[in-house]
Amino acid sequence: MTKSIFIDTTRCTACRGCQVACKQWHDHEAVPTKQTGTHQNPPDLNPNNFKLVRFSEHRIEGRVEWLFFPEQCRHCQQPGCKAAADAYVDGAIIIDEATGIVICTEKTKELTKEQCDEIIEACPYNVPRRNDATGMLTKCDMCIDRVQAGLVPMCVKSCCTGTMNFGDRADMLKLAEERLARVKKEYPKAELLDMEDLSVIYLVSQPREMYHLYARREVKPLNRADFLAGLTRPVRNILG
């Protein structure tokens, strides 16, 4: 049975305990930052922040509302990042069979910066980030070391509001459906985001594009240049 995370954003208070816990567990450095007029900090995902609580302010039915979105890798069932990486370095991005967790390995260091850019571009949620100091491509690993030891991911462990949930996929899908039914009574536009395709399932109460740019799924039609690039990629690999 693969594992899933269910994130009920309607319960999130933006305390950022999950964000800090993720940094602590992964021994990530503090990142210099500055105030940009929002409580969202740092401004974006980076190699030292696999988790980021996004803040978005809106006026809804005459009231100012803050929408919170604890962002992380979705651990796609068919990950675009892996498909793109496979064309260059076998084993750079892998899927753990037992859990379904998508992992960037040390082999991502063998990728060039341009290849990493292409892999980031292939992610519909704009998640991976390259660590320019080490050359490694980075993102949330669903705390696979903890999961393999029978523990829950650190962000789930630290969340005391019931926003973050972790367990067997079937249980998380059931919980997600139950919460959706309850939330819909107050928020008719509530929905579960792409749940069939992802191991990290979000429940949102407002239209997804109101949370942030990549809360929507970036589905790019294959254009001619991409198609030709795909055809020639194996040749480019052989030629180095």
- 144-176 CB burial, b ≥16 within 10 A, e <16: bebbeeeebbbbbbbbeeebbbbbebeebbebb
Among the listed residues 67, 76, 193, 210, the single contact to ligand SF4 using CB under 6 A: 76
Q: Is 141 in the site for ligand SF4 (CB under 6 A)?
A: yes
CB of 150 within 8 A of CB of 143?
no
95 binds ligand SF4 (CB under 6 A): no
CA distance 45 to 212: 13
Closest-CA residue to 22 (of 158, 168, 198, 214): 158
Please identify, among the stretches 16-24, 107-115, 187-195, 207-215, the one whose residues bind ligand SF4 according to the rule CB under 6 A: 16-24
Give the integer Cα–Cα distance in Å for 110 and 37. 38
Decide if residue 72 touches ligand SF4 (CB under 6 A): yes
Binding of residue 3 to ligand SF4 (CB under 6 A) = no
**Cα–Cα distance between 67 and 40 in angstroms, integer?**
11
Q: Report the SS3 class of residue 138.
A: strand
Judged by beta carbon, residue 47 or residue 153, the one nearer ligand SF4 is: 153
Per CB under 6 A, does 41 bind ligand SF4? no
User: Is residue 139 close enough to count as binding ligand SF4 by CB under 6 A?
Assistant: yes
User: Candidates 30-38, 121-129, 212-220, 228-236 — which segment interacts with ligand SF4 by CB under 6 A?
Assistant: 121-129
| Nearest distance in Å: CB 70, ligand SF4 | 4
CA–CA distance, 210 with 43 (Å, rounded to integer): 17
Q: How far apart are CA 18 and CA 160, in angstroms?
A: 10
**Segment 199-218, which members bind ligand SF4 (CB under 6 A)?**
none
Regarding 53 and contact with ligand SF4 (CB under 6 A), the answer is: yes
Of 3, 4, 10, 50, which lies in the binding site for ligand SF4, with binding defined by CB under 6 A? 50
C-beta separation of 154 from 22 below 8 A: yes
Among 85, 89, 136, 143, binds ligand SF4 (CB under 6 A): 143
What's 27's DSSP letter? T
Binding pattern to ligand SF4, positions 162-191, x when CB under 6 A?
-xx---------------------------
Residues that bind ligand SF4 (CB under 6 A): 12-18, 22, 25, 50-51, 53, 70, 72-76, 79-81, 102, 123, 125, 127-128, 139-143, 153-155, 158-159, 161, 163-164
